[in-house]
Each structure stands twice: as structure tokens, then as C-alpha cells.
Amino acid sequence: MWNPSRKIRIIASRMLTVLFSLTMIFHVVALFQIIPYQYLWGGRLSSLEEMYVMETVSLLVNGFFLWSSIRYLQYINQGLVPIWIRLVFSFIGFIFLLNTIGNLVAFTNLETLLATPVTAFLSVISFSLVPKYENKTS
């Protein structure tokens, strides 16, 4: 089984930190209606109110993902990544895997073409943080 090195895990968690930060900015932009809600959520939103609910939930969830990425970096720097944070990244990876499938069947080409590779990438990176890590030299 693939067990990424400490360096790979640090790079992956930093990438997730940046990507989740950018995703949160995207959701804020969506909340301010700079992006029409018809282009969000695979074109399945039917009202502005629905968009506010979904984007607020997305912002909160991505905030949790961002917090998890920061915690992972803190743990890896201490030399031991506990199982609970690895389980969180299993969950995050699975969520992004499902999201990738959802993006493939989106009603809008924009979501299919832009979001699918991003969510697939996020899923792979998240799953790379799951294997057990223990720094034997600490």
C-alpha cells in the first residue's frame, strides 16, 4: 500500500489549505451573486433562497475542511498523525469523490468541465493523507 512521505503529506496538506481557502472565496463570491445561481450546484438550484442555503452550508463545510488541513499540518509537524484526523480525510476524500461523480452529470457544461477535475484532484489529495504516518525519528 502506498504510504506517502512526510514531505508529500506536507505539500498535499498545504495544497488543500490553499484550495479550500480559494473555494471559500468562490462561495463568498456566489453568496454576493457575482456568479448567477443558475451556474451553481450543477444548474439544479431553483431560487435565490435555495442558493443562499446551499452556499452557506458549502462555506461552513469548506471552513471545516480548511481547519482540518491546518490541523493535519500541525500534527505532521509533531511527528504523529492521529487516527481521527485520518478518518476526517477519508470522509473528505469520499465527499469529493461523490462530488466528482455529481459534476460529471451536471446540467451545466461549466461545472462539468471546470469542477470535475478540481474535485477529482481534491479527492486524490485527501486520500493521500489517510495512510498511517508516524515519524520514527522523533
* pLDDT value at 41 more than 90: no
What count of residues does the chain have? 138
* pLDDT value at 110 more than 90: no
| Band (109; pLDDT cuts 50, 70, 90) | confident
Q: Where are the domains of the chain?
A: 6-128
107-122: average pLDDT: 86
The one-character DSSP state at 114 is I
95-116: average pLDDT: 87
pLDDT tens-digit readout, 9-37: 999 999 999 999 999 999 999 999 998 88
Of the candidate ranges 1-5, 33-37, 51-55, 117-121, the one whose mean pLDDT is the lowest: 1-5
Identify which of 25, 47, 46 has the alpha carbon closest to the alpha carbon of residue 34.
25
* pLDDT value at 115 more than 90: no
pLDDT of residue 17: 97
pLDDT of residue 138: 45
Q: Is the dihedral of CA 74, 126, 89, 69 positive or negative?
A: positive
Rounded-to-integer distance, Cα 123 and Cα 70, Å: 17
121 close to 16: Cβ distance less than 8 angstroms: no
Q: How many CB atoms lie within 10 A of CB 46?
A: 10
